Amino acid sequence: MFSWTRLIAVATKEFLELKRNLLFFVVLVFGPVMFYLLHAYGLPVDVKNLNLGVFDRDKSALSRSLQDTFQNSGIFEIKKIANDEKELITGLALADLRVGLIIPPGFAAELARNSPVIVQALIDGSYPNYALISEGYVAAAVNDFNFNILEQSGNAPLPIDINATVWYNSTFNGNYFMLPGLFGLTLVFFPAIMAALSLTKEKETRSILNFYCCSVTRFEYLIGKMAPYVVIAYLQCLVCFAYAVLVMAVPMRGSLLAFLIASFLFSAVSVGIGLFIAVFITSQAAAILLTTIITLTFTFTYSGILTPVICLSEDNRAIAYLLPVTHYIDIARKVMIKGSSFSDVQGSLLVLLVACLFFYGGSILIFRKRL
């Protein structure tokens, strides 16, 4: 029945086919790595450089000092000093500005007279998350300004002082969050596409007929065909990992073994997802569209790559835990940043193993040696 020779023969054929097509091979091997490097370097998660426009109707030393509080917060960059409200609105409408600040006339005079003054902030709602964060920062800057006034006006101690400690990542380094997550995105996407393409290509160019009429079993054919892709994906993951740890200085605090096993399992799962899709579909264009949308949409919405899973709503969290990518990203973050041991993440590893069995088992059962 099962023969290693045939399985290895299929794998060798697939690998040779890949290798002989030089451009494809180069893109296949270096593309995902480039993708990782580009995004590890270029996709920030920290909110900074928010473009601020100020319409200062007071133009006093005190209103200038409020502007300075914003500028010095390190979050805002004063992009425009507007002469009327319309200029601010135009800036927001064209997305040149994210926040517009309106300081009322008599700002300094009112404060000197010890009565409260209302300052208006117009915040662009185009990115709800960013808008909320911006609102927080605007409030923080105004609070800073107020505390300065209070400190100068009399001798009374601050009521509550916050003493914050941040575990695992004391400087809120965004790389600690993003780079382990990006492993998940890189691995969920490219290997799946490659696998889906490799099978649908054979279907579309009809070379799959060779398989239909030869003695290779479905198991040997599918596993052998996918093996090179799993190996390539795994090697890519290791390169990205080396980049994250050695160049971007993301720590590796926990069990390296757990990370290596998880990465291998997840490479296999990702290839398995592509295979599973390709079993149902014959056209390369359709396979590519379907795989892209399924992997990207689910990864972005649920996996925790941008929004931590614990911050998702109850229902969405349930979906998140069904996805292998969520578990993989979780393992990567725990092992690298939190320093978890093998036994801390073995539950998630088990999920990856089950997912592996599901996708390959399902594909082999559904796939038919028939036109």
| Pick 74 or 215: Cβ nearer another protein | 74
> Which backbone phi and psi does 79 adopt, to 5 degrees?
-95, -30
The four Cα atoms 279, 285, 289, 294 give a dihedral, to 10 degrees, of: 10
| Pick 3 or 19: Cβ nearer another protein | 19
Question: How many Å apart are CA 284 and CA 266, to the nearest integer?
Answer: 24
Question: How many Å apart are CA 331 and CA 334, to the nearest integer?
Answer: 5
- Minimal distance, residue 1 CB to another protein, in Å: 32
| Pick 131 or 260: Cβ nearer another protein | 131
Contacts of 177 (CB under 8 A, 6+ apart): 45, 169, 333
Which residues make beta-bridge pairs with 80? 53
Question: How many Å apart are CA 27 and CA 14, to the nearest integer?
Answer: 16
Element (H, E) at 224: helix 218-242
- Minimal distance, residue 215 CB to another protein, in Å: 27
- Minimal distance, residue 194 CB to another protein, in Å: 8
- Minimal distance, residue 280 CB to another protein, in Å: 8
Buried/exposed code over 35-62 (b: 16+ C-beta within 10 A; e: otherwise): bbbeebeeeeeebeebbbbbbbebebeb
- Minimal distance, residue 276 CB to another protein, in Å: 15
Please name the residue that has the structure tokens 């757990």: 258
| Pick 46 or 83: Cβ nearer another protein | 46
| Pick 147 or 212: Cβ nearer another protein | 147
- Minimal distance, residue 68 CB to another protein, in Å: 14
| Pick 3 or 205: Cβ nearer another protein | 205
